[in-house]
Amino acid sequence: MYGIALDLGTSGFRAQLIDLETDETLKTVITMGHPLPGGNVMDHLDFAITTGEDVAHGVIIETIRRMFLKFDADLSKVERLAVCGNPIQLSLFQNIEIRDLAYAGENKQKMLGVQNVTRDSRVFPASDIFGDDFFRGCEIIVPPAIKHEIGADALAMMLETDFLIQTEPALVTDYGTNAEMALKVGDRIITASAAAGPAIEGQGISSGMLASPGAICDVKPEGEYWKVMVLDNEMEKQDAYLINPVTGEMKETNGYEAAGITGTGVISAFALALRSGLVEKPPKLPNGKLILGPGIEITEKDVEEAGKAIGAIRAAHMTLIVESGIKYEDLEYAYMSGASGAYVDAEDARRLGAVPGYAKKIVQFGNTSLALARELVLDRSRLDDVIKIAKKITADHLMMATSNTFNNFYLCELSYWTMGMPLEMYNQMLELYGLPKLPETLEHVSIEKRVSKDIEQVGVGGLALLKEIGIILEVPVEKCIYCQKCMEECPENALEITETDGIRTAKYDSQKCLGTSCRRCVSVCPENAIDITKLRIKAK
């Protein structure tokens, strides 16, 4: 019999097939992106509310079906499926209420009638989600949220690290598009999240990609050249080549080719460029770019996008410290989890501010969300322990969207990363806001790397990628005059207009569509022909 562990991330999904008799991981499948339009949780929420929760749920479930088929196994033998992720992804997976997550205002929630929504643990038949034709006799396990906005993934990062046992101030962060974090001071735990955006995981930048085989994950200096490292098929770091980042001259190759750059590679490249003097202040680059391989470049626009992500995380960390009442120098531990937390060079990250440079000890973990799902697959009784721990955690949640402290910190971060504001002026602005100045980065700290990769064991069947999810959303466009302006305007080539039996239809590749942050196709149409509220999944 088999079990499946499933992690529903904001930037993509990860699943593992497990032999329940031997506890052995057989195979791992990951998607190269999220199936819903957009690059963050707010895009996904907006799509679900605008187009319909049933449509969003259908896209997610069809994606998961296609992932599971890549296991090449008899799925009728799957006995248990454990699913972990943030509240938005888990709610869309289960097709349950999401409007309380979209609207922070109590009056709005009351008007909608969505108050007192609970997200407790659930164990239910897989047929409730997938029907009877996919799994037989399988149960789905969903771990609990601590509060409606503090989900199972946040619980996982606390449980799968040493965070909860620390007596000194400790910070844990699950690095990703929606970076969840928690600060423990004594018995008090303050949770938060920072909408860092997709650049932290290598998306939304010109040569970006998720952590997967061929992704540049790190760079190191060797004279005027940079040693570029990529992930191999087992998701291990390998030396690829030596390159001059200004001229693109290739000095040495080692048989590995780069397909793009992931978020950790971006952080490493920025840190090295600043340290080596190639960048005096962001976002200026020599000749407007850094060359990291054939056809792989980092542009000044990429610096801005990644800077926004790093800045959001640093601003959130400092906000947590200030609001907790402790001082920067009181922070003892900083735990890092997720793909970016596992692969990034912690020294580079703390020099840039992605991890607190004032933490005395840094500990790196991998994908804690998938790790918790795997534990629940292997031992169903583990759910009882998780529920008990969740009830004991009396977490205060800090909403960054309504925090003036975060707003002031992030304004300074934006000015630094996108406009080149000097750090001296940054501190002057903080003084005007009544906030402590930027903390000093400690010269020597303890850095412990507990894992070599975010998913420690991919299984004997290896790692399979679902690069092109291939789900098409379509809507009739009766007023369409076939001017093709919508297709020309689409920056991702996600849209095409087709005609069958005289009926014109707009068809979107859900994975490529940028969703809320774009909608150029709608605004450019001279006939207002596209009604995205009527999008539906193309029939098979």
Same domain? 410 vs 506: no
Residue 433 maps to a domain: yes
Give which of 173, 141, 155, 42 is closest to 101, Cα–Cα.
42
In a domain, 297, yes or no: no
Q: Residue 45: inside a domain, yes or no?
A: yes
**216 shares its domain with 346:** no
Q: Give the separation between CA 316 and CA 321, rounded to whole angstroms.
A: 9
Which of 447, 480, 515 terminates a domain? The answer is 447
Same domain for 102 and 41: yes
22/128 same-domain check: yes
Are residues 401 and 509 both part of a single domain? no
Confidence category of residue 165, pLDDT binned at 50, 70, 90: very high
Residue 293 is assigned to a structural domain of this protein: no
Q: What is the pLDDT of residues 314-355, one digit of tens each?
A: 999 999 999 999 999 999 999 999 888 888 889 999 988 999
Residues 112 and 74 in one domain: yes
Same domain, 327 and 404: yes
Measured CA to CA, the distance from residue 376 to residue 47 in angstroms comes to: 31
128 and 238 belong to one structural domain: no
Q: Which of 288, 313, 345 delimits the end of a domain?
A: 288
Domain boundary among 226, 254, 288: 288
Asked if 253 and 230 count as a contact pair (C-beta separation under 8 A), the reply is no
Beta-carbon contacts of residue 475 (< 8 Å; ≥ 6 apart): 505, 506, 530, 531, 532, 534, 535, 536
Domain membership flag for residue 295: no
Kindly calculate the radius of gyration of the chain based on its CA atoms and give it in whole angstroms.
Answer: 23
| Mean confidence (pLDDT) of the chain | 91
Q: Specify if 4 maps to a domain.
A: yes
Residues 77, 15, single domain; the answer is yes
Q: How many domains does the chain have?
A: 4
Alpha-carbon distance 55 to 48, whole Å?
Answer: 7
- Give the integer Cα–Cα distance in Å for 154 and 168: 20
Q: Is the peptide bond before 282 cis (omega within 30 degrees of 0)?
A: no
Residue 1 lies in a domain: yes
CA 346 vs CA 341, 425, 434, 455: distances in Å: 8, 27, 30, 18
Residue type, 433: Y
Q: Are residues 174 and 323 in the same domain?
A: yes
Structural domain boundaries enclosing 90 = 1-152+369-391+454-464
Neighbours of 223 (CB within 10 A): 8
Residues 50 and 140 in one domain: yes
* 140 touches 78 (CB < 8 A): no
Q: Are residues 126 and 254 in the same domain?
A: no
On whether the CB atoms of residues 430 and 436 are closer than 8 A, the answer is yes
Inform me whether the pLDDT recorded for 148 exceeds 70: no
Task: Put the strands of the sheet holding 24-31 in their side by side order.
Answer: 122-125, 139-142, 78-85, 2-8, 13-19, 24-31, 463-466
Is residue 210 a part of any domain in this protein?
yes
Find the CATH number of the domain harbouring 407.
Answer: 3.30.420
First to last CA, the chain: 30
pLDDT of 454: 86
With bands split at pLDDT 50, 70 and 90, how would you rate the model's confidence at 484?
very high
